[in-house]
Chains A and B, each alone.
Chain A
Amino acid sequence: MTNAMTNTGTPLVELRDISISFGGIKAVDNVTVDLYPGEVVGLLGHNGAGKSTLIKCLSGAYQMDSGEILISGKRVDIQNPRDARAQNIETIYQTLALADNLDAASNLFLGREIVGPGGFLDDSAMEAETRKIMARLNPNFRKFNVPVSALSGGQRQSVAIARAVYFNAKILIMDEPTAALGPQETQMVAELIQELKKQGLGIFLIEHDIHNVMKLCDRAVVMKNGQRVGTVNVNEVTDDDILGMIIMGKKPAKAA
């Protein structure tokens, strides 16, 4: 397992001193986090701790008030989701962010459609590509020609994951990817995360389930009230230590 202490070289992502406020409330307050290739960093904390907000600064959904983002050591300017995608940052949102009235292929390619001669959409090509990636991620998926509103929670999730994986992401953000899933589907997501790690992706994982954190993450960043409580190597602490950080907002003595 990758260890923060042994992580050397340039981090894939560095979020430095990020702050963002909404109506006078500091949702994220001077938070610094980094992520190395082939690493899974868990972001933990109560609801409203600022995890999702922090991560939305990286995915381009929000614009931070201050701080800087470095990708592979280079400072980048991420103003909107297009900028993030250009940096090979892909996001699976908690809400999945699917257009319910469109089919799987249209959602997968939304904003990055395959066009043929004359700039017209090549729906057949997009469906063919969707069939290919779904065959890998969810071989039982059959509903290619219906709106995603007609799909089950797990199927919708697999469309959202396929969208993030298809475009050769280097940095993957997963906001509670297993919240709506059953045990078997959760296992599939866990296997996918392991596979992507091997390919050298860096993954930010927002997760509430402490067992998933212990199982999937290399490091865990705990946040409370918009501030970073601390960062720990998961294999050096117990789940009680992490729970303590989340609840008390203090780093355990031995890991400090």
Chain B
Amino acid sequence: MSNNAHAPATKDAQMGAIARFLQATEINTRLLGMVGALLLIWGGFHIYGAVFNGQGAFITPRNLWNLMVQTSSIGIMATGMVLVIVTRNIDLSVGSLIGVTGMAMGILQVEILPDYVGIGHWSIWIITAIVGLALGALIGAFHGWLIAYRDIPSFIVTLGGLMVWRGMAFLSAGGKTIAPVDANFALLGGGPYGTVGEMGSWIVGAIAAAGVIWMIVAGRASRSKHDFPQRPMWAEYVLGALGLGLIAGTVWIVNAYPWPKGIVKDYAAANGLTLDPETTFISHGFAIPVLILLGVGILMTILMTRTRFGRYVFAIGGNPEAAALAGINTKAMTTKIFALMGMLSGLAAVIASARLNSATNALGTLDELYVIAAAVIGGTSLAGGVGTIYGAILGALVMQSLQSGMVLIGFDAAVQRIVVGVVLVLAVYLDNLYNKAVK
């Protein structure tokens, strides 16, 4: 049968140094583009602040730390939205799911559980979080069932869900706000106490570094087992150095942001310590929601790239008919994907309500749009079949960077929306150009 055995020799000769570098390290140019866009946004806001406000406030440990925390809830949901969009569906209900699961968890931990186990009991946050995740998964599975087994388009099912679950969130407590939440539960939202501290952050960094090294070594071992061509050694070292450098830099940044003086004072008083708030430097370290996002990102990446489930998600997105003919139960897959999306919405609700220290029926309003935008900016194709988890998380970071940057330099909400809207459309247009250029 025919073949296009292109001549690699001539092609190599035509490639520049950059192209050769990218080929050897197998760094995705799309990823590179997103990181470039991110750095451009960060640098732009920082310089704008320095020029017009006399102080660049963006690239500071404090702002970057906040940025990470603010990204976590949208980022977690965006990883699930990748699966939904890759299989040619959409989920408009995730914001309302945050509302209804957030309210359910608020009522459970404030009005129900204390009657049985007592206020402040250690088990409250665990039971609450599990119930929230399970409720989200259940609602998501119901959406998925309607889509897969009753042939209602996902756009309609989740548009209905958007209204139904927001209404339910209001009715669940008659529109009341429930506050404050359980003290342990509140730690899941971040904040000065909801962090792992300096030493904890270095431990997290060390584990991540070990993971990077293991991936490189295991990758080489697997390639050599089947006699596949190896990456050149220098490329392995470059990748390793980039990975370790990124980890060390991130740990350094989160550790460079100290507790505010008031918190130090409260902490000293509560623990009977004598600390001078003026001179004591207690690092925040990684916030718990950021670690949850990282954990979700890693698990979802494994799910998508290393398991049958993930392979089937891509196959359904590429050609639903072919997937079915290959014996994949596409209806069950759709149900599971929406259940997973619902569960991740429940997890996002844990973080969002813990961060606010309250449950309100408006929690998560408009989040569906930011989640979809994050996934799409991250390279997920609405035509289906294409998308990455890291892309969606980076997309969420881009969106959050824009918003937080505009808040810092004092753009008002109307301008923020205009900019975010323009950036979304522009990002997809640039992606089209990129895809045409690659072909």
Residues of the B chain whose Cβ atoms lie less than 8 Å from the Cβ of A96: 322
Whether A101 lies near B326 (C-beta < 8 A) is no
Task: Check: A142 CB closer than 8 A to any chain B CB.
Answer: yes
Whether A188 lies near B1 (C-beta < 8 A) is yes
Provide the bound-state CA to CA distance between A141 and B6, in Å.
Answer: 11
Provide the bound-state CA to CA distance between A132 and B319, in Å.
Answer: 26
Min C-beta distance of B299 to chain A, whole Å: 13
CB<8 Å pairs between A and B, sample of 22: A61-B325, A81-B326, A82-B327, A97-B319, A98-B322, A99-B318, A99-B385, A100-B318, A101-B385, A101-B386, A110-B323, A113-B311, A120-B307, A121-B305, A121-B306, A124-B226, A127-B226, A138-B1, A142-B3, A152-B2, A155-B1, A185-B1
Task: Check: A170 CB closer than 8 A to any chain B CB.
Answer: no
Provide the bound-state CA to CA distance between A142 and B307, in Å.
Answer: 26
Whether B325 lies near A93 (C-beta < 8 A) is yes
Per-residue contact bits, chain B 141-153, to A (CB 8 Å; 1 contact, 0 not): 0000000000000
Whether B1 lies near A101 (C-beta < 8 A) is no
Provide the bound-state CA to CA distance between A100 and B314, in Å.
Answer: 10
Task: Check: A6 CB closer than 8 A to any chain B CB.
Answer: no
Task: Check: B55 CB closer than 8 A to any chain A CB.
Answer: no
Task: Check: A181 CB closer than 8 A to any chain B CB.
Answer: yes
Query: Which residues of chain A in 89-109 are interfacial with respect to chain B, using CB atoms and an 8 Å cutoff?
Result: 91, 93, 95-102, 106
Task: Check: A128 CB closer than 8 A to any chain B CB.
Answer: yes
Min C-beta distance of A191 to chain B, whole Å: 11
Min C-beta distance of B380 to chain A, whole Å: 12
Min C-beta distance of B334 to chain A, whole Å: 16
Whether B319 lies near A100 (C-beta < 8 A) is yes
Query: Which residues of chain B in 203-232 are interfacial with respect to chain A, using CB atoms and an 8 Å cutoff?
Result: 222-223, 225-228
Residues of the A chain whose Cβ atoms lie less than 8 Å from the Cβ of B266: none
Provide the bound-state CA to CA distance between A158 and B2, in Å.
Answer: 9
Whether A111 lies near B326 (C-beta < 8 A) is yes
Provide the bound-state CA to CA distance between A116 and B230, in Å.
Answer: 21
B interface vs A, CB < 8 Å?
1-5, 222-223, 225-228, 302, 305-308, 311, 314-315, 317-319, 321-328, 385-386
Partner of B2, one of A82, A100, A112, A182: A182
Task: Check: A125 CB closer than 8 A to any chain B CB.
Answer: yes
Task: Check: A119 CB closer than 8 A to any chain B CB.
Answer: yes
Provide the bound-state CA to CA distance between A142 and B311, in Å.
Answer: 22
Whether A120 lies near B306 (C-beta < 8 A) is yes
Partner of A110, one of B223, B228, B302, B326: B326
B317 nearest CB neighbor, chain A only = A101
Provide the bound-state CA to CA distance between A93 and B228, in Å.
Answer: 31
Whether A127 lies near B228 (C-beta < 8 A) is yes
Whether A80 lies near B327 (C-beta < 8 A) is yes
Partner of B3, one of A91, A98, A119, A138: A138
Min C-beta distance of B330 to chain A, whole Å: 11
Whether B307 lies near A101 (C-beta < 8 A) is no
Residues of the A chain whose Cβ atoms lie less than 8 Å from the Cβ of B314: 99, 101-102, 106
Residues of the A chain whose Cβ atoms lie less than 8 Å from the Cβ of B223: 124
Whether B1 lies near A110 (C-beta < 8 A) is no
Per-residue contact bits, chain A 64-96, to B (CB 8 Å; 1 contact, 0 not): 000000000000000011100100000101011
Provide the bound-state CA to CA distance between A224 and B306, in Å.
Answer: 47
Query: Which residues of chain A in 140-161 are interfacial with respect to chain B, using CB atoms and an 8 Å cutoff?
Result: 140-143, 147, 152-155, 157-158
Whether A155 lies near B306 (C-beta < 8 A) is no
Seed contacts A100-B385, A110-B322; 7 additional CB < 8 Å A-B pairs: A81-B327, A101-B314, A102-B315, A111-B328, A121-B308, A127-B228, A155-B1
Residues of the B chain whose Cβ atoms lie less than 8 Å from the Cβ of A102: 311, 314-315, 318
**Which of A91, A102, A106, A182 has the most chain B CB atoms inside 10 A of its CB?**
A102
Provide the bound-state CA to CA distance between A212 and B317, in Å.
Answer: 36
Whether B3 lies near A95 (C-beta < 8 A) is no
| Known contacts A97-B319, A98-B319, A100-B385; A158/B1 CB under 8 A | yes
Partner of B5, one of A106, A140, A184: A140
Residues of the A chain whose Cβ atoms lie less than 8 Å from the Cβ of B318: 99-102, 147
Task: Check: A255 CB closer than 8 A to any chain B CB.
Answer: no
Task: Check: A115 CB closer than 8 A to any chain B CB.
Answer: yes
Per-residue contact bits, chain A 152-179, to B (CB 8 Å; 1 contact, 0 not): 1111011000000000000000000000
Provide the bound-state CA to CA distance between A185 and B70, in Å.
Answer: 57
| Known contacts A110-B328, A152-B2; A119/B321 CB under 8 A | no
A131 nearest CB neighbor, chain B only = B226
Residues of the A chain whose Cβ atoms lie less than 8 Å from the Cβ of B327: 60, 80-82, 85, 111-112
Residues of the B chain whose Cβ atoms lie less than 8 Å from the Cβ of A182: 2
Min C-beta distance of B279 to chain A, whole Å: 50
Residues of the B chain whose Cβ atoms lie less than 8 Å from the Cβ of A152: 2-4
| Known contacts A97-B319, A128-B226; A140/B1 CB under 8 A | yes
Residues of the B chain whose Cβ atoms lie less than 8 Å from the Cβ of A137: 1
Residues of the A chain whose Cβ atoms lie less than 8 Å from the Cβ of B222: 124
A113 nearest CB neighbor, chain B only = B308
| Known contacts A93-B325, A99-B318; A154/B311 CB under 8 A | no
The 8 closest A-B pairs by CB, nearest first: A140-B3, A99-B318, A101-B318, A101-B385, A111-B326, A154-B2, A82-B327, A154-B1
Partner of B311, one of A106, A147, A153: A106
B439 nearest CB neighbor, chain A only = A150
Partner of A99, one of B2, B225, B323: B323
Residues of the A chain whose Cβ atoms lie less than 8 Å from the Cβ of B315: 99, 102, 106, 110
Min C-beta distance of A177 to chain B, whole Å: 11
Provide the bound-state CA to CA distance between A11 and B222, in Å.
Answer: 45
Whether B3 lies near A97 (C-beta < 8 A) is no
Residues of the A chain whose Cβ atoms lie less than 8 Å from the Cβ of B306: 120-121
Residues of the A chain whose Cβ atoms lie less than 8 Å from the Cβ of B323: 99, 110
Partner of B322, one of A99, A142, A158: A99
Whether A97 lies near B385 (C-beta < 8 A) is no
Whether B325 lies near A99 (C-beta < 8 A) is no
